[in-house]
């Protein structure tokens, strides 16, 4: 395998690039070459080394490429959420064991002892019963060590008025942050952005959102999306703009009027043949 030639054909990789930038090659050929390279060669090298580092040199400063299993592809909707084991404020967590048959919300924070993060974590603690009602486990992440987390949790409880009632991953080695692409080097080389992943019981990624460090997220919106996902999984409906639980929903266009009669006995209003509005079926 000629690694230099491979890199040469990816001219848009920035000198500062981390491994993931390789996936942004325009050429599909190179994309697939990368995938095949990753799956075949990584495994064979791992027989000798736990991981190896490869240095690309063609026309660019040397860029180390970490081929360990943590260097995953960018996640997309519908992908299987990768499993991991990491320390947390509630002990070591195996993600799949932690999630079990529930849904999960995995969300990252740039850093401990930061004001926006403090308010977010306090609010998620307050919402915990709402997540539980929906069979959702919440799991935070920050790239600082457990000793910092423990101290920070005290601050969060003191200032936000809620018990800290869910685990916060101590991802000091960036294992999970890298696996879930939570570090965006052009925003910040080392800290995570504010990522949110909603993962269903089949471990499929159902939502990905990314906020900048300076903007606190709206966790009521995360609950709203979970309501929508859980509803649309069970019925042939979609949810319209600004929908919230209890509002009317939209019958999916793929369903014929004939079939819709059986499924939606309350009837519907057809504003257009493709825009049929019906009361929320499970209310
Ligand atoms: C914060 O959580 O307050 C924060 C973190 C990183 C950058 C800006 C704000």
Tokens of 93: 């967590």
Question: Could you tell me if the CB of 215 is within 6 A of ligand 1?
Answer: no
Q: What is the pLDDT of residue 238?
A: 98
Q: Which atom of ligand 1 is nearest to the CA of 216?
A: 2
Residue 197 CA to ligand 1 center (angstroms) comes to: 19
> What are the boundaries of each domain within the chain?
3-66, 85-218, 235-278
Do 56 and 65 meet the contact criterion of CB atoms below 8 Å apart? yes
CATH 3.30.1020.10: does it fit domain 235-278?
yes
For atom 9 of ligand 1, which residue has the closest CA? 214
Q: What is the DSSP letter of 75?
A: P
Q: Which atom of ligand 1 is nearest to the CA of 118?
A: 2
Residue 86 CA to ligand 1 center (angstroms) comes to: 23
For atom 8 of ligand 1, which residue has the closest CA? 214
Question: Could you tell me if the CB of 188 is within 6 A of ligand 1?
Answer: no
Q: What is the pLDDT of residues 251-264, one digit of tens each?
A: 999 999 999 999 99
Q: Which helix (H) or strand (E) holds 218?
A: none
The single residue listed with the structure tokens 């709203």 is 224
Q: Which atom of ligand 1 is nearest to the CA of 120?
A: 2
Question: Could you tell me if the CB of 126 is within 6 A of ligand 1?
Answer: no
Q: What is the pLDDT of residue 73?
A: 64
Average pLDDT by stretches of 10, the chain with 283 residues: 35 36 32 35 27 36 41 83 98 98 98 97 97 98 97 98 95 97 93 96 98 96 98 97 98 97 96 98 94
Can you tell me the distance from the alpha carbon of 184 to that of 165, in angstroms, rounded to the nearest whole number?
28
Q: What is the pLDDT of residues 81-115, one digit of tens each?
A: 999 999 999 999 999 999 999 999 999 999 999 99
**Strands 237-238, 249-251: parallel, antiparallel or unpaired by DSSP?**
antiparallel
| CATH architecture type of domain 85-218 | 3-Layer(aba) Sandwich (3.40)
Q: Which atom of ligand 1 is nearest to the CA of 109?
A: 2
10 flagged as catalytic: no
Q: What is the pLDDT of residue 201?
A: 98
Q: What pTM value is reported for the model?
A: 0.77
Q: What is the pLDDT of residue 162?
A: 87
Question: How much helix, strand and coil, in percent to the nearest 5, is found in the chain?
Answer: 35, 20, 45
Q: What is the DSSP letter of 80?
A: B
Question: Could you tell me if the CB of 54 is within 6 A of ligand 1?
Answer: no
């Amino acid at each position: 395998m000629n690694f230099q030639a491979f890199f040469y054909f990816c001219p848009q990789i920035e000198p500062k690039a981390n491994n993931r930038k390789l996936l942004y090659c325009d050429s599909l050929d190179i994309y697939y070459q990368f995938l095949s390279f990753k799956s075949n060669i990584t495994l064979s090298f791992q027989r000798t080394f736990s991981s190896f580092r490869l240095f690309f040199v063609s026309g660019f400063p040397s860029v180390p490429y970490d081929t360990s299993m943590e260097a995953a592809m960018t996640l997309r909707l519908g992908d299987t959420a990768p499993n991991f084991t990491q320390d947390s404020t509630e002990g070591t967590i195996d993600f799949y064991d932690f999630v079990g048959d529930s849904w999960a919300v995995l969300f990252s924070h740039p850093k401990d002892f930061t004001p926006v993060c403090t308010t977010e974590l306090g609010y998620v603690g307050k919402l915990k019963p709402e997540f539980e009602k929906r069979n959702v486990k919440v799991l935070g992440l920050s790239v600082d060590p457990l000793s910092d987390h423990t101290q920070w949790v005290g601050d969060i409880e003191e200032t936000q008025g809620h018990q800290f009632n869910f685990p916060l991953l101590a991802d000091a080695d960036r294992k999970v942050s890298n696996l879930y692409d939570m570090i965006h080097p052009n925003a910040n080389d080392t800290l995570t952005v504010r990522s949110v992943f909603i993962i269903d019981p089949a471990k499929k990624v159902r939502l990905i959102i990314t906020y900048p460090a300076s903007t606190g997220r709206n966790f009521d919106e995360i609950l709203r999306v979970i309501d929508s996902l859980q509803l649309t999984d069970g019925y042939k409906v979609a949810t319209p703009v600004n929908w919230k639980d209890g509002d009317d929903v939209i019958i999916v266009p793929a369903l014929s009027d004939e079939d819709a009669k059986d499924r939606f006995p309350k009837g519907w209003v057809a504003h257009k043949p493709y825009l049929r509005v019906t009361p929320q079926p499970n209310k």
